[in-house]
Structure 1
Amino acid sequence: MTQTEIRTPPRSPVAGPAAESVVRPGGNAVDRGRKRLFVPFVGPAFLLYTVLFVGPALYAVWISFNKWAGAGPMEFVGFGNYVRLFSDKLFIQSFLNTLLLLFVVGIAIFVIAFGLTLVLRDMAGKKIARSVIFFPHLVNAMIFGVLAGFIFNPAGLVNTMLGGLGVEDPPAWLSQDNLFPLIMVMMTWITTGYFTTILMAGVDRIPPYYYEDCALAGANAFQRLRYVILPLTWDVFGTCAVLWTISSVKIFEIVWVFGGSTGQGMPPTQTWTTAVYTYVTAFSGESVPAYGAATASAVLSLALVSVLVLLLRRVMKREAVEF
């Protein structure tokens, strides 16, 4: 063979019709079959999602730029509704209350839920305990609001018990200063069991040999928590954080019912969240309903949730651990 002679590389043992079909632009038969099935199977669900969710959401954004009473013609006002919201002290207070529920109650929920998870992890009756802890989440929040109104009213269960213990001047639980902290405590109690169940499921999936390796290495409880439990349940924490972020911005029933137990017909403004503000603005606030301003409030809530979820996914993003 001369220096200018070039050998052709040996043919791949997998060369043939099958190999050629893999590199063919149209793909192999399996890929083409998947593409054909995509439209009939995914298309109806995507269309339904677009009609029921995407379409109304875009229409709501359009309404937020208009002055509208719910019927009749709309008057385009641009960002006028948003300017009105940020100049409204009641909306700012409602927005701050929502942030308090999101962060303060959220931190309390996750600290208590994770603590219960660690305590119940090796307990013999943890399935029963899990059911008991989860039970408050099964009861509608409106029922808890009604019960709380009976329990904390001046002649309710709490003051009756305090009177029996000799307390002559029990606190005014339903006063405007104490009402919102009580709502925060109730939301913590109602929601903790739900996230405890999720975190317990995440901890239970950790293989036992990880704990055995920790024992052989002489790791203490804190090291086992830091290097085993937290890394292997980090994705579960991220999911719980997203779920709570979405839920906290929608809190309405417990505030409306429990706050309304003061006898004023609607909850005091000190307890309002953005969901309550949106409802009152749209249906109960003025003689002419301000659907444009109410929709702007809802759009801002959606924007808040979207930004926070994106930040959570970015901050809590870690390399997936498979086991």
Structure 2
Amino acid sequence: MNTQLTAPESTVSTARPRTQRGPRPAAGNALLRARRRALLPFAGPAILLYIAFVFGPTLYSVWISFHETSGYGDSKWVGVRNYTRLLSDDSYRKALFNTLELLVIGGGCTFVLSFALTMVLREMRGRLLARNVLFFPNIVNAMVFGVLAGFLFNPDGLVNTLLHNLFGVTDPPKWLSAENTFPMILATIIWTATGYYTTIIMAGVDQIPAYFYEECALSGANAWQRLRYVTIPLTWEVLTVCALLWTISSVKIFELVLVFGGNNSGLPPTNTWPVSMYSYAEAFGGLGSVPRYGMASASALTSLLLVALIVVVLRRAMDRRDSVQY
């Protein structure tokens, strides 16, 4: 009798056992709570200082802008009359135009020169030394430029002497006259700011990997194509930051104008004033015998709104590009 033995069939389950998720570790929650508790001791003093010295005075300036006051005695509520006076004041309109000229023309020239210097210095030996030399004018006090301008461009100064001895110029330009003061200020601002923004843009360009440019060389791309399709897209965020910094700083230009055009008897000529100089003159009696803090506050707040508007427009215009990751 033949008996066939068969092994019992066994079922093998290949499914992985389910793991039940337990509660989140208590260590993570404790660390999060500790960070939240540390926020107020660390950030609290800075917030209080900001409220006391920035936010509070700004609100008080808004209140003063609706009053007519000289800083002492009683103040008179005038509503929006200070703002309407600004629009009808020729000195303010000229100051606003000068501010926009510094912003647009000065910024355009500065960024063109900064980008050109970046492209030239990128492959240059000793570029770190060149970057430091370009950055040096930005750390010099504006008083130095005022003294230097008087030494170089006065009627008997170094520039006119060289023009007379080397080129025979007998009637040199009056560099520091009232009609030439603002172009001199604009040229000085461009000169000092170019090194600053060249340093920032060069730092961004240095982060671009070299293989992008090697691929461009293999593809036969020229210099303009490398700039358009590699350098600008990969440094777009850096350029956005530079544009915002320039917008904010150009509206605050003050001491250079005061040093260049001012003298011992008073303020610079009104055709050289930016909005900041107009606010200063209104606050300290530069346009009359009595200070007008209401007009000064209205002028300062108008420039603040101008900066805020331009910054918002720049952010919207320059954030349309998708950020490039590499």
Structure 2 CA distance for aligned equivalents of residues 41 and 193 of structure 1:
35
Q: How does 1:199-214 map to 2 (within 5 A)?
A: 199-214=201-216
Aligned equivalents of 2:147, 2:51: Cα separation in 1: 37
Tell me the distance in 1 between the aligned counterparts of 2:220 and 2:172: 52
Identify the residue that residue 17 of structure 1 maps to in structure 2.
23
Distance 1:245 1:286 in 2: 31
Larger radius of gyration: 2
What do the CA deviations read for 1:217-264 (whole angstroms, capped 9, x no partner)? 332222221111101101111111111111111111111111125x76
Instruction: Say if 2:299 is the partner of 1:297.
Output: yes
Q: Please list every run of 5 or more consecutive structure 2 residues that lacks an aligned counterpart in the other structure.
A: 1-15
Residue of structure 1 aligned with 2:323, choices 294, 298, 320:
320
What is the distance in 2 between the residues matched to 1:309 and 1:91? 22
Corresponding residue of 1:97? 98
SS at match of 1:18: coil
Residues 1:31 and 2:32 aligned together: yes
User: What's the secondary structure of 2:298's corresponding residue?
Assistant: helix
Q: Deviations over 1:253-305 (max 9, x none)?
A: 111111125x7632111111111111111112222110110111111111111
The CA deviation at 1:190 is 1.2
Counterpart Cα distance in 1 of 2:267 and 2:39: 50
The Cα shift of 1:141 comes to 1.4
User: 2:71 aligns to what SS in structure 1?
Assistant: coil
Q: TM-score, normalised by structure 1?
A: 0.90
Give CA-to-partner distance per residue, 1:163-220, whole Å, 9 cap, x none: 1121111111122222211111111111110111001101011122222222333322
**Deviates further, 144-153 or 91-100:** 144-153
Q: Residues of 1 paired with 2:230 and 2:192: CA distance?
A: 29
With 94-103 and 276-285 compared, the bigger mean Cα shift is at 276-285
What is the match of residue 137 of structure 1? 138
Question: 2:184 maps to which residue?
Answer: 182
Pairwise CA distance, 1:31: 3.1
- Among candidates 215, 219, 222, match of residue 221 of structure 2: 219
Matched residue SS, 2:316: helix
1:155 and 2:149 matched: no
1:157 Cα offset (Å): 1.4
Aligned-partner Cα distance in 2 for 1:249–1:114: 22
Quick one: which amino acid aligns to residue 269 of structure 2? P
Question: How far is 1:131 from its partner?
Answer: 1.1
Partner Cα distance (1:197, 1:140) in 2 = 19
In 2: Cα distance, 1:29 partner to 1:12 partner: 29
**CA gap 1:106/1:12 in 2 versus in 1, 3 angstroms:** farther
**1:107 to 1:254, Cα distance in 2 relative to 1, 3 A:** same
Match of 2:172 among 145, 148, 170: 170
Whole-angstrom CA distance in 2 between matches of 1:264 and 1:157: 26
Q: Which amino acid in structure 2 is aligned with residue 176 of structure 1?
A: A
Counterpart residue number, 1:308: 310
Q: Percent identity?
A: 56
Letter in 2 for 1:309: V
Q: Secondary structure at the match of 1:15?
A: coil
Q: CA separation in 1, counterparts of 2:90 and 2:24?
A: 70
1:309 Cα shift? 0.9
Match in the other structure for 1:276: 277
Distance 1:269 1:79 in 2: 24
Q: In the alignment, which residue of structure 1 is the partner of 2:115?
A: 114
Alignment-mate amino acid for residue 23 of structure 2: P
SS where residue 246 of structure 1 aligns?
helix
**Please, which moves more after superposition, 202-211 or 120-129?**
202-211
Secondary structure of the residue that 2:24 maps to in structure 1? helix
Gaps of 5+ in 1: 1-9, 22-26
- Cα distance in 1 for partners of 2:89, 2:207 equals 49
Kindly provide the amino acid, as one letter, of the partner of residue 221 in structure 1: A
Comparing 88-97 with 154-163, greater Cα deviation is found at 154-163
From the superposition, tell whether residues 31 and 285 of structure 1 become closer, same or farther in structure 2 (CA, over 3 Å): same
Q: How far off its partner does 1:160 sit?
A: 1.2
With normalisation by structure 2, the TM-score equals 0.89
Cα deviation, 1:120-164, whole Å, max 9, x if unaligned, reads 001011111111111111111121022112321211111111111
Taking the aligned partners of 2:96 and 2:18, their CA distance within structure 1 comes to 66
Equivalent position SS for 1:267: coil
Mapped to 2, the partners of 1:12 and 1:91 lie a distance apart of 75
